[in-house]
Amino acid sequence: MARDVLLGLEPAAITDWYYIPVVLATAIIGGSIAHRISLDPLPFVAAQGVAIGLLIGIGVQKAMEYRAPGPSAIFLGVVTATIGGAMDDVLTGRRATMMREGPWDLSLIAIGAVIFWLFTIYVAFYAAVAITATVVATLRVLSVGRGWSSPVFPGDDLHTEDP
């Protein structure tokens, strides 16, 4: 929705009838099988990386469809993935990880947006989707596995714990 508002469009989630039923069906299915799924760290982090890569693609592709300049398309990819990732964290009861110390999510989102834009321009759309999802998931797994952390401003590390 944020992407559509920034592009000056009516949000697709409101104007297209199929968004709400698909989201509800997915939530019901996910909620009913969630207790059966083991959330081992590696597959869970890899799935998060793929989801972030797809969100990047959704943002960049829509901006390019409406002929936004390259930097604007990359920015909209970053906004879409950042807000989508933060909403996922908040709705699942986790603290949003995008802009705090921890795995360097915001950096890999920016890298993914540039990769998606370049591959869409110079190679092909489906290649851009596959490469971006793979690169972002790989970097996400490496950042968590190796403990790479995001830079923080002095004093911000005092506020990393939940109240």
State the pTM of this model. 0.75
Residue 160 lies in a domain: no
Six token digits for residue 25: 């069906």
Geometric angle at alpha carbon 129, from 104 and 73, rounded to 5°: 70
Tell me whether residue 142 is in a domain. Answer: yes
Tally of CB atoms within 10 A around 37? 10
In a domain, 163, yes or no: no
Split at pLDDT 50, 70, 90, the class of 145 is confident
Residue-wise DSSP of 49-73: HHHHHHHHHHHHHHHHHTT--HHHH
Residue 116 domain-assigned (yes or no): yes
Q: Is the pLDDT of residue 95 over 50?
A: yes
Structural domain span for residue 85: 2-8+40-150
| Structural domains counted in the chain | 1
Q: What six digits make up the tokens of 18? A: 């199929």
Structure confidence by residue, pLDDT tens digits, 24-68: 887 788 777 766 666 667 777 888 888 889 989 989 998 898 898
Whether residue 15 lies inside any domain: the answer is no
Identify the pLDDT of residue 69: 92
| Token code pair at residue 92 | 């699942």
Instruction: Confirm whether 64 is domain-assigned.
Output: yes
Q: Is residue 162 part of a domain?
A: no
Q: Is residue 23 included in any domain, yes or no?
A: no
Using alpha carbons, select from 114, 108, 110 the residue that is nearest to residue 136.
108
